């Protein structure tokens, strides 16, 4: 399968005929005789090859006049793994669109964040995805509207506003065009006896899809073992945390299931729904292509047994890049428990309080602005670490350092390395878990060196880096498999 720029028709036809779910989100099949578009794994009898045409995005299908299939619901398929694997203009734009930037700031705001003209952004998105930023954002609004229609009892007027539509008429027209049903008809299709929502205002229960396999052990184990008290917790089989969002705040509970992630979201403002979902998917690396990753790492005979033992490992990431950078500094040269203690003190002193009737969450993690205004003398850390910390939060607060989804990975690395106290380990762990670079590597990490030595891999940083060239572009995933050889709590699903 090629990238979305040039869809290989023969491979697309074969994927559709075999109903291969691995390619859901990679491309979409539009059926000329029915006027609908599907995901490759649609359960209906595949159309004749001559009646198929292929598009790289749901927005392109909609723009060409096709409506979403009611059986396979292609608008709910996992996102393309291309946007997590790449750091070029199109990938960065797609991450920003998923984060709701077009709805909040328009196409000029999207272009300004990327450092390009609106014309350049539109041209490149059209060339690769067959749709411009407005069409891509419209497709996301339609999916948000569908979620609210099916999972809440909100009036349609409130749903239209929450999903980002400018008018009720636009909302009605878009839903009819995309789903071939009116908003009320979509709600009427719910199974008998099932009512949308659970009666709690602002709370939604969703299913987050992923490409199989998914190994939850290191993913949820890492998040639970490093959880900052007050901001994160493991409760009743779910990882829970607070979310700082563009219009308000939220609390999410995420629990692994065999074929999806159960997601329970409580939002202070429903306009944040699409952004919250996007950040949760990014946190759990749900749009990864685990088959491609694992096949690449299995080529090394010393890594192959680790992959075979627990395939589908994801990289635990973050919902807030600035928060993770701060926590990476707090974790320099200390234990996991000590890092949690330092972070908890910052949260209690500078975090914004909130209520959590369903658990023990108490605060949002402090913003860079709040931390930059804190008295440095009150920070319980060595003087050199304090300098590192205060410099970082000042740069994040004044905007001279950007670590958002729009970041150019190479530029962000260079800016981080210029900060006092930032060495290769800190920069690479931020690149791996905050920036989302799938090829970030930690050759100086003690756990990685210990695992490498036990497997017969080179254990010195330089020699291990040379050997790891063969693992590109998936070295961040190799880190997860190497870490998993240790008996550390981060590697085990909490009970």
Task: Give 255-314 pLDDT, tens digit per residue.
Answer: 999 999 999 999 999 999 999 999 999 999 999 999 999 999 999 999 999 999 999 999
Where are the CATH 3.40.10.10 domain residues in the chain? 9-81
Residues 149/142, Cβ–Cβ less than 8 Å? no
Residues 403/430, Cβ–Cβ less than 8 Å? yes
Is residue 5 predicted with pLDDT exceeding 50?
no
Supply the residues annotated as catalytic: 38, 445
Query: Whole-number mean pLDDT of the chain?
Result: 93
Residues 319/485, Cβ–Cβ less than 8 Å? no
**Cis peptide preceding 88, ω within 30 of 0:** no
Rounded Cα–Cα distance for residues 184 and 171 (Å): 12
DSSP symbol at 238: E
Q: Among the listed ranges 35-49, 182-196, 323-337, which one has the minimum average pLDDT value?
A: 182-196
Where are the CATH 1.10.10.60 domain residues in the chain? 83-188
The CATH code for residues 9-81 is 3.40.10.10
In this prediction, residues 388-396 reach a mean pLDDT of 96
Is residue 392 predicted with pLDDT exceeding 70?
yes
The two structure tokens encoding residue 267 = 């939002």
Polymer length of the chain? 495
CB atoms under 10 Å from CB of 50, counted, come to: 9
In this prediction, residues 12-40 reach a mean pLDDT of 94
Residues 272/245, Cβ–Cβ less than 8 Å? yes
Residue partners of 240: CB distance under 8 A and separation at least 6? 232, 233, 234, 251, 252, 253, 254, 359, 361
Rounded Cα–Cα distance for residues 5 and 96 (Å): 19
Q: Among the listed ranges 196-200, 330-334, 460-464, which one has the minimum average pLDDT value?
A: 196-200
Residues 234/494, Cβ–Cβ less than 8 Å? yes
Provide the pLDDT confidence category of residue 4 given band limits of 50, 70 and 90.
Answer: very low
Is residue 474 predicted with pLDDT exceeding 80?
yes
Q: Which residues pair with 232 in a beta bridge?
A: 241
Q: Which residues pair with 54 in a beta bridge?
A: 29
CATH of 83-188, one of 3.30.1490.20, 3.30.420.40, 1.10.10.60, 3.40.50.2000: 1.10.10.60
């Amino acid at each position: 399968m090629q990238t979305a720029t040039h869809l290989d028709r023969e491979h697309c036809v074969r994927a559709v005929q075999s109903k291969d779910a691995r390619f859901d989100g990679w491309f979409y099949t539009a059926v000329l005789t029915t006027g609908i578009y599907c995901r490759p794994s649609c359960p209906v009898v595949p159309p004749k090859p001559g009646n198929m045409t292929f598009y790289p995005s749901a927005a392109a299908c909609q723009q060409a006049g096709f409506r979403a299939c009611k059986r396979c619901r292609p608008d709910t398929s996992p996102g393309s793994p291309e946007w997590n694997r790449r750091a070029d203009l199109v990938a960065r734009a797609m991450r920003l669109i998923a984060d709701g930037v077009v709805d909040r700031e328009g196409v000029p705001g999207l272009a300004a964040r990327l450092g390009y003209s609106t014309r350049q952004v539109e041209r490149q998105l059209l060339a690769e995805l067959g749709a411009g930023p407005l069409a891509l954002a419209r497709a996301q609004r339609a999916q948000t509207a569908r979620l609210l229609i099916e999972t809440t009892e909100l009036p349609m007027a409130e749903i239209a506003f929450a999903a980002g539509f400018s008018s009720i008429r636009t909302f009605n027209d878009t839903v009819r065009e995309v789903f071939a049903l009116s908003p009320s008809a979509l709600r009427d299709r719910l199974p008998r006896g099932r009512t949308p929502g659970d009666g709690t205002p602002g709370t939604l229960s969703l299913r987050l899809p992923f490409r199989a396999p998914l190994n939850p052990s290191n993913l949820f184990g890492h998040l639970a073992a490093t959880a900052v008290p007050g901001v994160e917790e493991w409760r009743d089989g779910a990882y829970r945390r607070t979310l700082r969002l563009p219009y308000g705040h939220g609390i999410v509970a995420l629990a692994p299931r065999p074929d999806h992630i159960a997601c329970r979201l409580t939002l202070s403002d429903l306009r944040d729904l699409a952004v919250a979902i996007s950040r949760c998917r990014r946190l759990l690396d749900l749009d990864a292509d685990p088959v491609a990753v694992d096949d690449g790492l299995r080529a090394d005979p010393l890594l192959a047994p680790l992959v075979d033992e627990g395939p589908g490992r994801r990289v635990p990431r973050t919902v807030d890049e600035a928060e993770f950078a701060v926590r990476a500094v707090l974790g320099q040269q200390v234990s996991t428990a000590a890092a949690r203690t330092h972070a908890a003190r910052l949260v209690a002193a500078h975090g914004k309080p909130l209520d959590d009737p369903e658990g023990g969450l108490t605060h949002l993690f402090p913003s860079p602005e709040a931390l930059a205004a804190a008295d440095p003398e009150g920070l319980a850390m060595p003087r050199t670490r304090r300098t590192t910390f205060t410099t970082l939060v000042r740069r994040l607060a004044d905007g001279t350092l950007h670590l958002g989804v729009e970041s150019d990975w190479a530029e962000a690395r260079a800016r981080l390395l210029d900060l006092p106290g930032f060495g290769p380990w800190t920069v690479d762990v931020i690149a791996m878990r905050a920036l989302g670079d799938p090829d970030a590597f930690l050759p100086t990490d003690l756990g990685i060196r210990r695992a490498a030595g036990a497997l017969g891999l080179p254990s010195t940083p330089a020699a291990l880096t040379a050997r790891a060239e063969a693992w590109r572009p998936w070295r961040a995933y190799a880190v997860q498999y190497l870490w998993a050889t240790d008996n550390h709590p981060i590697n085990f699903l909490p009970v």
